[in-house]
Structure 1
C-alpha cells in the first residue's frame, strides 16, 4: 500500500505532536502538546500516512512578515518532520508538494518562509537563504564611542504580568518597520516566551527591562568561579523604536553587575558593533536563519518595494513549481514592480531559489552570481537587478517558528 497525505483533523493532533517529537529525537512532555495546540490551524496542517500510521508532518502558520515596504501575508512553515524508520521514502517531498502546490492552487500566500533544521534540505524545493543570524558575545562594561546618546530615562525592570502588555504594544508598533519580523498572535507570544522550568535550560526565568519606546527580554546563566561572578546575560529579544532607546537598552544590559558576558542571537548587521569604542571586543559568528520560497513569482515580487529602477527579462528555472518556469519581464519604477510573462530574449538566467534568497533584500544577486546561482546574459543586468533588490537593512527574524 502506498503512502497517502491529507489535511489533519482535531482528532489527529495528539498523533501529529507525537510524530513531530519523535522526528526530532526528543522526549515528549505531557503538557507540551496542550500548550502548543493554540499555535496550529489544523486545516493548514498535513500528515503523511503509511496505511493508518502517521509518519510525516508539516504545517503552515498564517502570519504577516515584514518585507521591504511593509508587512505582507506569508506562509510560515513549521513542524516539518519524518518519523524515524521512514526516511528516504519521499515523505518530505509529498509534504512540500502539498504545501507549495496548495498555496498556488488556492491563491493563498505568495511566498513561504521557514527555519531549517538542516541546511542541506530545502534548497532542492526552491528555498533560498534570505537572512542570517549572528551569535553575538560582548563583555560586561564594553564602552561605547564618545558622544553616544542614551538619554536620561531610567530603564525599569517589571514583572512579566506588568511588562507583557507594554512589550506587545511596542513590538506591534516596531515590527512592521523591521524586515524579517513576523506578526504575533497570543499563541505565538506564549510559545516564544514560554517560561516553565523545562524551557529554561538551566537559566533563570525571563526578566523584562523597559523604556517607553523599547524593551529587552533576557535570562541569566548563573556562573560563579574562584575569581568571582561570571554570569552570562542571555538576551532573548531587544526591540527599540529609535536609536537612543536602542543604545540605552544595550548600555543597561552591558552595565549589569555580577556579569561576565552578554550573548544575543541578533541580526547580522546589529549596529551595536559600531557603537563600541573597541569593536574587536565583539565576538560574532553567523549562520543562516530564514529561508524563503517564492511560490507565485508574479504575485510575490510585486508585494515588496525596491531600491532603484530596473527593467530586465528573467529566465527562471523552477523544477518543483513549474508554473514559475518561464521568461518574465521584471520592471521597477519609483520602487514599485510589475511582472509579466514574455517571449523576449532574457537578460538574466536564475533558479527560483535565487529570487527567494534575494526577496528580503539581504542576499545580493551579485554575490549569488559569483557563486554560480545566477547567470548574466546581458552585460550589466545582474548589477542593476541586484541593486534594486537590496534592502536598507539586513533582514532579521527574532523568533524561531
Structure 2
C-alpha cells in the first residue's frame, strides 16, 4: 500500500485508462478497448500507479439523482473501477476509493452511487445496498385482469432522432418522483447510451405514447415451431397508470415475441398487479444501486421524510471519519441536522444509513439483523417511518 500512488491522471495517461479497465474485467481486446475509450472524456478519471505502471483506475460522472420527497440533488455516479490482474489484494482499490471520496468531499458532493460488480467489495468503503433491481420476465400474450384501464391513444415507433426530444421531456417530468432515478440529459448520458447501443449489435427501438415511452431491444430467435423473439426493456416510463398499461400491452402483444424481459425493473413493478395471473411474471430480485453518504451533515437534510421524527443517531464511519459521531435529525417542521452530545437513541454504521437513505431498506429490518441498535424505546420505529417511502427506490440506468 505504501508504494501505491493514487491521483488524478494526466492527459498523457488517459490513453491507458480503457486498457487497464478492460483488463480488470477481461475485456481488453482492441474492439472492447475502443468501445470504452469515448467514456473517458465524460468522467472524472483517477488512477493508481505502482511505480510508473498504471495498475488501477476509477472515475465518476457528475449526475443528478431523485431523492425521497420529489427533490433532485447532485450525486457522483461512480464507474469504471478496476485493478489489473496480478495487482489485486495489495490495496489498489482502497487507494482509489480513498482518493475519490476525499476529492468528492473537497468538491462538496454529498452522495456517491455505484453498481457493484461484487456484493462483498464496497461495504468496507461505506457503501450500502440502497435499491433493488427486479429481473422481470413475462410471456407474450399475458392477459390483464378484468377491468384494467388502458389508454387508447396509440403507441408509435419513431427513430431516435425524432423520439429523443419527447423522450427527454417525459423523463424530466417523471424522474424527480422516482427515488433512485437519474437525470437523462447531457453529453455524458448520450455517450453512455451510444456505448450501450453498440454492444451486442442489437439496436434500440423507441415507442412513444403521449404520456409515456419505452425503449427496448429485440433478440431474434427462430425454432421449428416459429418465431421465439425476446424483447428486452431498456427503459419504460409513464405519467399515468393507463399509459403504463398501454405500453405494456404494446410489448406483450408483439407478434414475433415469446417473452418480454426487463433486467432492471423496480421491486414493486406495477405490471405484476395488472396481470390476470400474477404468477405469469417471473421475478428475481438483486441488489441494485449502492449508495455512499460522503457528508452526513449535507446528505440527511437533502431528502424529504415521510413522518415526524426527532432522533439522535450515533454513526460509525471508519473510512470517512468526519462522518463519525452523534447527529440529531429532526424532520419537522423543517428538516434539521446537527452534531450533538446528547445520548444516542440509535447506533448504526454509515453503510446501513446509506442502505436506508432512499427508503429501499427499512431501519427496522436492519435492526432485526443486528445492524442497527436501539437505545431508547420508540426511536427505531419513529426513525424507520420517517425514512420510509411510498414506493421502493429503483435505478434503471447502468453507468
1:330 is matched with which residue? Answer: 329
Which of 40, 45, 64 aligns to 1:37? It is 40
Tell whether the 8 Å contact from 1:195 to 1:205 is kept in structure 2 after alignment: no
Tell whether the 8 Å contact from 1:192 to 1:399 is kept in structure 2 after alignment: no
Q: Please give the secondary structure, in 2, of the residue aligned with 1:149.
A: coil
Per-residue CA shift, 1:182-225, capped at 9, x if unaligned?
A: 123233134225466x5126xx4211111112111111111221
Q: Distance in 1 between matches of 2:88 and 2:36?
A: 24
Q: Map 1:278-357 to 2 at 5 A.
A: 278-334=277-333, 336-357=334-355
Tell whether the 8 Å contact from 1:195 to 1:206 is kept in structure 2 after alignment: no
Q: Please give the secondary structure, in 2, of the residue aligned with 1:314.
A: strand
Shift of 1:149: 1.6
Shift of 1:9: 2.4
Tell whether the 8 Å contact from 2:18 to 2:37 is kept in structure 1 after alignment: no
Q: Distance in 2 between matches of 1:231 and 1:8?
A: 45
1:146 is matched with which residue? Answer: 146
Q: Please give the secondary structure, in 1, of the residue aligned with 2:148.
A: coil
CA shift in 2, pair 1:364/1:155, >3 Å: same
Tell whether the 8 Å contact from 1:209 to 1:215 is kept in structure 2 after alignment: yes
Q: Please give the secondary structure, in 1, of the residue aligned with 2:335.
A: strand
- Segments of structure 2 that go 5 or more residues without pairing to the other structure are none
Q: Distance in 2 between matches of 1:207 and 1:33?
A: 23
Shift of 1:172: 2.0
2:247 is matched with which residue? Answer: 249
Q: Distance in 2 between matches of 1:400 and 1:374?
A: 30
CA shift in 2, pair 1:253/1:313, >3 Å: same
2:46 is matched with which residue? Answer: 46
Per-residue CA shift, 1:288-313, capped at 9, x if unaligned?
A: 01011111111100000000001111
Q: Distance in 2 between matches of 1:276 and 1:11?
A: 56
Q: Please give the secondary structure, in 2, of the residue aligned with 1:200.
A: helix
Over 3 Å off, 4+ runs: 193-196
Tell whether the 8 Å contact from 1:366 to 1:383 is kept in structure 2 after alignment: yes
Q: Distance in 2 between matches of 1:392 and 1:258?
A: 37
Q: Please give the secondary structure, in 2, of the residue aligned with 1:256.
A: coil
Number of aligned residues:
393
CA shift in 2, pair 1:9/1:89, >3 Å: same
Deviating more after overlay: 221-230 vs 320-329: 221-230
Which of 377, 382, 385 aligns to 1:384? It is 382
Deviating more after overlay: 184-193 vs 225-234: 184-193
Deviating more after overlay: 177-186 vs 119-128: 177-186
2:367 is matched with which residue? Answer: 369
| TM-score normalised to structure 2 length | 0.95
Q: Distance in 1 between matches of 2:249 and 2:150?
A: 8
Q: Distance in 2 between matches of 1:255 and 1:388?
A: 42
2:237 is matched with which residue? Answer: 239
2:23 is matched with which residue? Answer: 22
Shift of 1:33: 4.1
Shift of 1:143: 1.1
Q: Please give the secondary structure, in 2, of the residue aligned with 1:277.
A: coil
Per-residue CA shift, 1:52-78, capped at 9, x if unaligned?
A: 110111112111100012110111111
Shift of 1:5: 1.6
Per-residue CA shift, 1:125-181, capped at 9, x if unaligned?
A: 111110010000001111111222212211101122222222122222222222111
RMSD: 1.5
CA shift in 2, pair 1:193/1:16, >3 Å: closer
